[in-house]
Structure 1
Amino acid sequence: MQSIKHLFKVGHGPSSSHTMGPAFAAQDILDKYKQMTHVEVTLLNSLALTGKGHLTDYIIKQTLYPVPVTFLFHIDVSKHPNTMVFKVFKDDDLLDEIEVKSVGGGDIIYGNEISRNKSIYPHHTFLDIAAYAKEKEISLYEYVREVEGPEIDEFLSFVWQTMKQTVEKGLVTEGVLPGDLEVKRKASTLIKKRNEAESHSVKQNRLVSAYAFAASEENAAGGIITTAPTCGASGVLPAVLYFLKEVEQVNESKLIESLAVAGLIGNLIKHNATISGAVGGCQAEVGSACSMAAGAHAYVEGQTIDQIEYAAEVAMEHHLGLTCDPIDGYVQIPCIERNAVAAIRAINASGLSYFLSDTRKISFDMIVETMYQTGLDMHPKYKETAEAGMAYFYKGKNK
């Protein structure tokens, strides 16, 4: 299992697999082939079907500029859903042909590689981590710090500051998101109307929703966000942490610790299953983000390791089967609203875990395995293709 530094990435939205990953690949090409005169890029499967809405072609062109780039779009189900093939030319001569897979969360692998990043964690299941931490009488945060080293705190502080800035920028930005859907930003409206609700619970939900909309709208606009664990799910964890800061008055050092716990949960999902919507559907993205946020919230609330596990499990369990069906390929509908719903659900899952963890029957490891198998069984058209679900039935009304 890799460092959580490879899970939390800071960069431009709207998609970690369709924007960040391709940008990283294009930069590698640019650095390696100094003599190239033009590049032909073939985008396959999910990248072919939703790449334009996710700005895949745009970010590759921008990264390789001023080298001319042409694009081909192709379906080949024998290939990974997010495959790119770069043909690099010097005049009429083909210098190289490079196959790259964007495997989720901004990670890329070349050819038959398994991973580009070194595994540093000695344990690969929540069960083993929990047993080790209990034996040593340390918290999950202390476990992460033991493996990653004390410098992880500085990295997580940077991640938190970025998340906070993203939420705060989104809360004050109005207008319409880029793209043909003409979706209006709603975060500023939600925050302005937060006091119009009659009950405390409704006010709380409105605040959490505003924070999630703020981060997700920044992502949809191509702003600076943090993958948590992906761009498409980047509003869930920041919303919960920002709510803990603003409403619960939790100090920043505790929030940074909770980020380590969230990262550990996300890392387990990434290692044992997938965080890619093109592989597992939205359950792998927003479902994973909800688990991470639920675990972070439970940690801040002082819950035990078993309770944190239960919070993360409940959060994932009730996202099982969630499809990824972005309308017109934009990370807007249903993605933004879905982040808000998941942020509220994460807090609710943490609340349930406080009272019910001693009655649980399902482990976190089991629900991660279940999510992965569910994603593999899901029809490919429901996994980030914009060919099914809401994307199929949407007729351009009620924008």
Structure 2
Amino acid sequence: MGPMSAACAFSEQLRMAGLLVQTARVLAELYGSLALTGKGHASDRAVLLGLSGKRPDGICPDEADRIVGEIRASGRMQLGGEAEIGFSEERDLLFHQRERLSFHSNGMRFTAIDVADQELASGIWYSIGGGAIVAESEVSGNAPPSGLYADVPYPFHSGDQLLERAEAAGLTIGELTLANELARMPEAEVRARLKAIRETMSACIDRGMGQGGILPGGLHVRRRAPEIHAKLVARQERALSDPLTVIDWVNLWALAVNEENAAGGRVVTAPTNGAAGIVPAVLRYYERFVANATEEGADRFLLTAAAIGSLFKENASISGAEVGCQGEVGVACSMAAAGLTAALGGSNGQIENAAEIGMEHNLGLTCDPVGGLVQVPCIERNAVGAIKAIEASRLALLGDGTHRVSLDQVIETMRKTGADMSAKYKETALGGLAVNVVAC
């Protein structure tokens, strides 16, 4: 998602500068972790789509396949969706696996070149996790950040501050998050966006349960969700004697989402693509297995999870290339644990405790995808993370919210652990399972 958004941003810059029609070719260069796992993460496809003017939230998988297929077959591209240029992946899409740009391991540079082989424009972007991107100008002090920094009634920058602000205002964490969102848009729009997120997550689960076959990429990983779904439907009476059947359903939903992700389907980054199955699986657990579950409770789940996720993003990282999989699956587990606790009526203290438990027991988790593909161990890791989130919520709800280790302490520990972690274990496919499992 990051490379697609960055490539699209570059094509838009060319349009705004009136340079689309002058461009004969575009050179796209990927660096660091982005280059090492680029093809496994479908970054090559993403660049082609982004330069064609497509954004992650506005394209369906079938359309993406068609566009990429046409570019590869013809060697031609509609730059920005308007100007036809030549595009050869061998010449114009380079993976600099031994080079790293200064700000982040997931760096990329785009250069527009005219018919005289002269540079027209160039730009550098970084993919910082969860599909978010930042331009070089935004991190070099040459331009203000482009993030959402509108004034909000209850700003917070730590877990302790979040609890303090909520207590002082007499609000739950979800209500505080909603109040901050209302500073940017009407409540009807906030609720509509929450509904769209829920529906996209749900559609991804359903699509994943119905799609069989082998995942692309060369590992020959079989999609298991349809078979598991069929077994669970055929054995529904088993739930009467085996209460742990609930776990099977949660595992199924998480697997379904991440098999869709591995196949290039549409997922919600929550907080990242590689960890996209945890929040949807736990949310569906709430909707399907919790008595008297409500739409308002589901909204409370997402609003609370968002608040927790923002703390990790601001004070540590959600990028596997920066801190390993603890920043992806670990953060997703923490978010889902907090969201479920809120939906079940937990206090703010219990919510913070659940978030802390969810991350504490993912500390040190490495990102070592076999073959650079988001398949092994990523798909199963989401299933385990979803169950761990439910466990964290249940543990927190058994207590009164008081606990020895704070969420802030765990976030800082995660940040330091990521800094100490060898680059081999940070989304480079150079260590761990990635080198101890034969990729083909």
Fold match (TM-score > 0.5) = yes
The alpha-carbon deviation at position 38 of structure 1 amounts to 0.6
Deviation at 1:129, TM superposition (A): 1.5
Partner residue in 1 for 2:43: 56
Q: Is the 8 A contact 2:312 2:331 kept in 1?
A: yes
Q: Is the 8 A contact 1:105 1:229 kept in 2?
A: yes
Counterpart position of 2:167: 134
Residue 9 of structure 2: aligned partner:
28
Match of 1:161 in 2: 199
1:99 to 2:124 alignment = yes
Q: Please report how far the alpha carbon of residue 59 of structure 1 lies from its aligned counterpart in structure 2 after TM superposition.
A: 1.6
Which blocks of at least 5 consecutive residues in structure 2 are unaligned?
15-19, 52-76, 79-84, 140-144
1:42-191 equivalences in 2 (<5 Å): 42-64=29-51, 65-66=77-78, 67=85, 68=87, 70-74=92-96, 75-77=98-100, 79=102, 80-91=104-115, 92-114=117-139, 115-120=145-150, 121=152, 122-149=155-182, 150=187, 151-191=189-229
Shift of 1:78: 5.7
Change (3 A) 1:357 1:384: farther
User: 3-state SS of the aligned residue for 1:88?
Assistant: strand
TM-score, length basis structure 2:
0.83
Q: Is the 8 A contact 1:310 1:357 kept in 2?
A: no
CA distance in 1, matches of 2:334, 2:306: 10
Give how far 1:23 is off. 0.7
In structure 2, distance between residues paired with 1:133 and 1:208: 31
Alpha-carbon distance in 2 for matches of 1:63, 1:273: 28
Give the SS at the match of 2:95.
strand
Tell me the matched-pair count.
Answer: 378
| Partner of residue 342, structure 1 | 385
CA contact (8 A) 1:191 1:206 kept: no
Higher mean displacement: 76-85 or 306-315: 76-85
Unaligned runs of 5+ in 1: 1-19
SS at match of 1:200: coil
Residue 112 of structure 1, CA deviation: 4.3
The structural deviation recorded for 1:392 is: 0.4
Q: Is the 8 A contact 1:276 1:284 kept in 2?
A: yes
Does the aligned pair in 1 maintain the 2:368–2:428 contact within 8 Å? yes
Amino acid at match of 1:312: A
Question: Cα 1:241–1:36, aligned 2, differ >3 Å: closer, same or farther?
Answer: same
Q: Tell me the distance in 2 between the aligned counterparts of 1:201 and 1:347.
A: 15
TM-score, length-scaled by structure 1: 0.91
**2:54 — aligned with what?**
none
Q: CA RMSD in A?
A: 1.6
Name the structure, 1 or 2, with higher relative contact order (CA <8 Å, separation 6+).
Answer: 1
The sequence identity of aligned pairs, in percent, is: 41
Structure with bigger gyration radius: 2
Q: Is the 8 Å Cα contact of residues 286 and 342 (structure 1) preserved in structure 2?
A: yes
1:313 aligned residue (345, 351, 356): 356
Where in structure 1 do 4 or more consecutive aligned residues deviate above 6 Å? Answer: none
